Amino acid sequence: MGALTQSYVNGASALPLLGDTVGVHFDRAAVRWADAEALVARHQNVRWTYAELQRRVDACAAGLLALELEPGDRVGLWSPNNAEWVVTQFATAKAGLILVNINPAYRLTELEYALNKVGCKALVTAGSFKSSDYVGMLGQLAPELTACTPGELRAARLPTLRTVICLDDEPHAGMLRFADLAGLAGEAERQRLTALASVLQFDDPINIQFTSGTTGSPKGATLTHHNILNNGFFVGEGMRLTARDRLCIPVPLYHCFGMVLGVLACVTHGAAMIFPSDGFEPLAVLEALEAEHCTAVHGVPTMFIAMLDHPRFDQFDLSALRSGIMAGSPCPIEVMKRVHDDMHMAQVTIAYGMTETSPASFQSAVDAPLERRVGTVGQVHPHVEVKIVDAERRIVPAGAPGELLTRGYCVMRGYWDDAERTAEAIDAAGWMHTGDLATLDAAGYCNIVGRLKDMVIRGGENVYPREIEEYLYRHPHVRDVQVIGVPDSRYGEELCAWIALRDGAVVTPDDIKDFCRGNIAHYKIPRYIKFVDDFPMTVTGKIQKFAMREQMIAELGLQEETTA
């Protein structure tokens, strides 16, 4: 590729897109790597080969058909990471059902909204997880469960839900046990499952994932077999995954990071999936990496920071590691360097994308120069187009910042039952508007500058928080940092830095400002410094800067500036 003059790239590739459904591709993988280890869930003492995983998937899929679920019906899955999650992922795909990923952190109102928004007919649920009593919450939403026959629920607040399937071993009133699902199927269901393989199409919707918007209700991004199977495959190609690899997956399965970049990347390459625990625990990950001889591990920056800073980090042999993906939020350069050096991940890659693009649209190459891998999100993915545009939707010159737009096989079908918000996100030419500010350099490497809504305009100067965060990471006592804009009567906005210090460090706000003076422009020096232990974030590790902003406005007694 010659030097770019305009900010447009397309991922030309000699490797074709896969034309399979997820179920057909899974069956081929199970035959090809039948005796290889497919899934290890250490917290459940589960260790299955591909043949055993296929047996369980087929039994589950036939059981779902026995519940009179029809292709296109929605099945919710509300659970932390476990082997049953993966079984359900492939079973729903083979039965033509649309899997609805429900955040394990959801509470009553959020669960009610998700189930009703997409009209879930069945729900697979864990019994409980940490402080979440799933069975208890369902009992509050649907007290009719206590008196109904399993599979015949008629709940006033959940009008479409008929069947609740619980992962617990002990029975619950009105619910089926997941362990009993396989026994429901007869020969008719097994034959129907076989027949469906040639009926289902790769453009059929297979998965709905709710995006955590900062305003309004969550939107249900609707993804197809083609979307997620190909994204998992090409992400695995980017990592150079093979059947010899063992990928540790501590990121949540309900999110694209776990189920696509993790599970589907493995299955399309015959690699083993290793689940260290039901939720992220740095010690459990470190133990799994050593005991299972993992060659790769996925995580968001906060997860890698927690592992690197764990007091027992130096006790673990991580020499088998070579690769993995850091994604989910901007990856601090200093953290990336420590992962490369201290965790032996010489081929670690960064991936960038969003749920609506299945998710990855950029990925750094394993053999790219280190400065490219730690300072950018890499180059465009195969078969994907990207352009950077200004406020008038015109392509900007290479190197100039603008909004990143994505087009190609990876773009979702749309938001479920929300034509208006779909039209706002995907324009008439098929471009997905990401809301991210980015630059493309002359070689096609992408750098994410920030979110359009996170950009701070201070006294007429555009300030990108990411740039200031990267500088503050250089401070020897700064463990983590997030920069936001807060209202200011004089400048319109002022900068505020939330800083998490390393254990035992004693630093004052003036120390931080002194560290900045003479090194970055005066208008980029944060006016407000707040020392914190952690940040408000989603379960997937995405920092909720809007929550930080709201808290600071309240703490400082600031007023939002309004413009006519």
Q: Distance between CA atoms of 322 and 350, rounded to whole angstroms?
A: 14
Measure the CA–CA gap between 386 and 126, rounded to whole angstroms. 39
Quote the pLDDT of residue 564.
28
Give residue-wise pLDDT tens across range 45-90: 999 999 999 999 999 999 999 999 999 999 999 999 999 999 999 9
The answer to whether the beta carbons of residues 449 and 396 sit under 8 Å apart is no
Evaluate whether 22-219 and 226-451 have a shared fold. Answer: yes
Nearest to residue 479, comparing CAs of 497, 495, 503, 513? 503
Q: How far apart are CA 16 and CA 234, in angstroms?
A: 10
Query: What's the CATH number for 22-219?
Result: 3.40.50.980
pLDDT of residue 214: 41
C-alpha 239: how far from chain center: 17
* Segments in the chain below pLDDT 70: 1, 212-216, 329-330, 460, 539-540, 560-564
Name the token pair of 135.
């069975």
Residues 265/235, Cβ–Cβ less than 8 Å? yes
CA-CA distance, 337 to 373, in Å (whole number)?
A: 9
Output the six-digit token pair for 418. Answer: 């929300």
Please tell me the predicted confidence (pLDDT) of residue 217. Answer: 74
**Both tokens of residue 515?**
């560290």
CA terminus-to-terminus distance, the chain: 47
pTM higher than the cut 0.85: yes
Among the listed residues 531, 359, 525, the one whose alpha carbon sits nearest the alpha carbon of residue 458: 525
| Percentage with pLDDT > 70 across the chain | 97
**Looking at the domain that runs over 226-451, which CATH code has it been given?**
3.40.50.12780
Q: How does pLDDT run across 197-256, given as a tens digit for each residue? A: 999 999 999 999 998 654 457 899 999 999 999 999 999 999 999 999 999 999 999 999
Give the pLDDT score at 540: 63
Short-list 408, 450, 435, 369, CA closest to 9 = 408
- Please tell me whether residue 55 adopts helix, strand or coil conformation: helix
Among 334, 340, 355, smallest CA distance to 101 is for: 355
Crossing angle of the two packed helices 509-516 and 465-472, in degrees rounded to 10? 100
Q: What architecture is the 463-556 domain classified under in CATH?
A: 2-Layer Sandwich (3.30)
Instruction: Tell me the DSSP string of 71-132.
Output: TT-EEEEE--S-HHHHHHHHHHHHHT-EEEEE-TT--HHHHHHHHHHHTEEEEEE-S-BTTB
Report the distance separating Cα 190 and Cα 532, nearest Å.
55
Q: Tokens for 245, please give them.
A: 């690899």
Q: For residue 215, what pLDDT is reported?
A: 44
Q: Are the C-beta atoms of 80 and 279 separated by less than 8 Å?
A: yes
Cα distances from 356 to residues 95, 361, 417, in angstroms, run 23, 10, 15
**Mean of pLDDT over the chain:** 93
* Distance from C-alpha of 549 to C-alpha of 366, rounded to nearest angstrom: 37
Domain ranges of the chain: 22-219, 226-451, 463-556
| Residue 520 CA, distance from chain mean position | 33
Whether the bond between 509 and the residue before it is cis, its omega within 30 degrees of 0, is no
Dihedral of alpha carbons 65, 68, 73, 74, sign? negative
CA distance 444 to 452: 21
Q: Could you tell me how many residues make up the chain?
A: 564
Q: What phi, psi does 109 have (nearest 5°)?
A: -65, -40
